[in-house]
Structure 1
Amino acid sequence: MTRRVDGWLLFSALTLLVLGWLMVTSASMEVAGGRYGNPFYFSLRHGIYVLMGLGLGLAILLVPMNWWFDHGFELLMIAFLLLMAVLVPGIGREVNGSSRWIALGIVNLQASEVAKLFMVVYLAGYLVRRLDEVRERWSGFIKPLAVMVFMGLLLIMEPDYGATMVILGSMLGMLFLSGVGMKRFLLLLSATISMAGLIAILQPYRMKRLVTYFDPWAAQFDSGYQLTQALIAFGRGGWSGLGLGNSVQKLFYLPEAHTDFVFAILAEELGLIGALLTLLLYSLVIYRMVAIARRAGDIGLLFHCYVGFGLALVIAAQTFINIGVNTGLLPTKGLTLPFMSYGGSSLLISCVMVAIALRIDLETRVKRQQNSQRRGTYAQS
């Protein structure tokens, strides 16, 4: 019986992990030296996160997909408890005005990262159990919508607008791929876009970001500071970059250089060529995850298929938003770059998502081989 897994997915994900460690080290040395007296403070911690992510990924690879299917509702409840817990004073840890983390020793658990994974698992199980109802009746469509709205409200209260968009966008994609009626889907899409616009204009700081987005240089030393510094980093990088470790913008010019804006530092040090190769690696991760999901769907493993597509959508959406923010394509918001940005929760969950995709691939290969053996047996008989 075959035990192989998708080598291209594994290779691209591991390459991004290593590249991320290098870029976090390069981008954080000056800040870490000035703040903690140790230039490798963030690098060492990120290295521990990488090792933890690899260990957790290996453990998750051993978990059969049936377990996720059977415990989808319980995992959703855990996600809601975590999202509510971060709002409780004394439990939630506030950073830069947002209460998104729960301190767990070496790792600050970001509830929204866990919620992304568990919401995908729950919705995939729901679609398998209620697929006909979702496709044909309003009742099957409204139930997951209510869950999504409640989760979105909790995320906005933190506030975590970026994670809200990633989760809602990914869930919309899963509903669309399940074959939901176009009328209902378009109605939901319109409502989501309207709600996103309303949220953006109700909060003054979000409205300020939108205004700055259209002309960041008009507020270069105010609300447009991060974006203009990121754009300067891209300009300095040119075609081939300044060389690894030679970034100027990381020298206290670009805030959050090792977290939300690590891609700008990568472009400055490795140039357009390095940035495009990095985008190629992300494209390869997403493409292989989609290919794995399609193969699972082709042999009737619908839960595997929906989970695979959902995880690919989450990684694709988060990558697009982060890089869009770095390049000025989207308004500035705090959202990590999967596999690369400094941050334990994001890196661990990214590793878990890849491990689940590899598990889907493994079970799909086993199922296909079993089907082939059955067809051979029938032919002989």
Structure 2
Amino acid sequence: MPLDTDTFDALLATIRRYVAERLRPLESQVAENDEVPPEIVQEMRDMGLFGLSIPEDYGGLGLDMTEEVRIALELGRTSPAFRSVFGTNVGIGSQGLVMAGSDAQKAEWLPRIATGEVITSFALTEPGAGSDSASVATRAVREPGSGPRTGNDIYRLSGTKRYITNADRASLFTVMARTGEAGAKGVSAFLVPADLPGVTIGRPETKMGQQGAHVCDVHFDNVPVPAANRLGAEGEGFRIAMQVLDRGRLHIAAVCTGIAERLVADSVAYALERKQFGKPIADFQLVQAMIADSKTDAMAARALVLETAALKDGGAPITLEAAAAKYFASEAVGRVADRAVQIFGGAGYIADYGIERLYRDVRLFRIYEGTSQIQQLVIARETLKRGG
């Protein structure tokens, strides 16, 4: 349920100021330390950012999709690491529970997810299952002799998940595991608390960009998962995952768009200030052409994101539109970042200005939550289904 206009506008203005005055000055520190300061995390909890998409009945803000992407657009104007702190709670780490959880599961977890007491994580990718997400090898086997009547109804979960965002901070994983036949129909979804015996978290990976946002391997060694922690019925996990990713892809598209808008603003400010041949480089038409291309990319991405969000809020399926938004926006922000480096020239390659950092940060958006190539396949498949 959307907030009233005045309340939402006040929230948006607060986040805009917070990004500009509090977060942007810390970007270099976060990148250098590979860590978002604990006081920032607490401030985000206090602002309710961990519960943006959690229903109000469970203590969240209950934003609709249009409101969520407008917030994401603002958060895109700073380092992606800041949004990543609570991003899994808002998106892929919580939405399976929101969409498919039982009343008991929601009551147990959602209020603590909304406050940020519980950090969530989405465990789908594996060493041998990335774009081919229906081929997960992690298995959940019903323990022999267990069942609803025995009082000991559990699955034994074994396998390894790879590149899992916020894994080292998470206290709850949504895990996709094979319970049946090969392919998508044999995949089920489970809520797995991080403190269950047999759960081990690997060290954070050293990455090309997005320092401060951690990804790790997660190992499950014969983990006893209560059957009550299964989301939906056996075999519904892949469907749940795809529904979660539709929403997540649109959120990421909004973040990409926000970063593109920030890069355009930074490029314009620099071009107006930097002088060559006795005048600002903004006066040169070839620089203007790069600014024009970047502005157009950012405007087109924003329009597609907002249109898709409105469709979702209206109850329409958005598999095609979310894939198109994520594909276009993630590719567009890469182009905008490349042009920003060119406009800044040598300064764009030097760490002092932060442009080279954003250039590295945005590269990941074309890979996670579905590569650009997977988005192309989804767009083509859905377009063919619709007949054009």
Shorter-chain TM-score range: under 0.3
Higher relative contact order (CA 8 A, sep 6+): 1
Q: As a proportion of its length, which structure holds more helix?
A: 1
Name the TM-score, length of structure 1 as normaliser: 0.28
Q: As a proportion of its length, which structure holds more strand?
A: 2
Name the TM-score, length of structure 2 as normaliser: 0.27
